Amino acid sequence: MGMSRRQFLQGGALAAAGVALSGKPGEASVDSPEMRTKGAKSSTTICPYCAVGCGLIVHTKNGRIVNIEGDPDHPINQGSLCSKGSSLFQVAVNDRRLQKVMYRAPGSDRFEEKSWDWALDRIAQKMKETRDRTFKATEVNKKDKKEYVVNRTDGMAFFGGAGLDNEECYLWSKFSRAMGVGQLEHQARL
């Protein structure tokens, strides 16, 4: 059987790829000694980005993450990951990742480092102040001009994210209603 010039070149390129992967002609192997996962401990977890909940395998060496990939045994994603999930290694191992609270005061031109306790207290204080200042027990309806009990604040809005699962969405909406917040949205709907 004859072989065209194109077929000959294609065959040569495949053979070269096999040698590059395995170090031996004709033996492409995923267990190459150069793999960064070789000898690493593997643990399973769930992608934190969205409520699809794809399964991940995290490889660690000496307590440091060396690789993150989709878990082929996970029933949701069966090893596949979207572009966000595929970038998780760069999120976990990244010198530029912020790991502390950075606060810029009103009017300031610089950020300052704060503790998590400080940030949570500040958020709670601001929510309380805003709620107290904007809370309405009743409101006159524009159409029938009658006064109705509303018990709400228009000074705040709550915003959920795709990382919330059903139970977390339930709690988030309950919390917003308890605060009197009527403007509750979800980022996946926008």
Of residues 85 through 124, those in contact with ligand SF4 by CB under 6 A are 85
Q: Which is nearer to ligand SF4, 87 or 130 (CB)?
A: 87
What is the closest distance, in whole angstroms, from the C-beta atom of residue 87 to ligand SF4 in the complex?
9
The residue to which tokens 């294609």 are assigned: 10
Contact between 54 and ligand SF4 per CB under 6 A? yes
Contact residue for ligand SF4 among 18, 22, 28, 53 (CB under 6 A) = 53
47 binds ligand SF4 (CB under 6 A): yes
Nearest distance from C-beta of residue 76 to ligand SF4, angstroms: 7
Q: Using CB under 6 A, pick the residue from 28, 82, 127, 150 that binds ligand SF4.
A: 82
Given the rule CB under 6 A, which residues bind ligand SF4? 47, 49-50, 52-54, 77, 81-82, 84-85
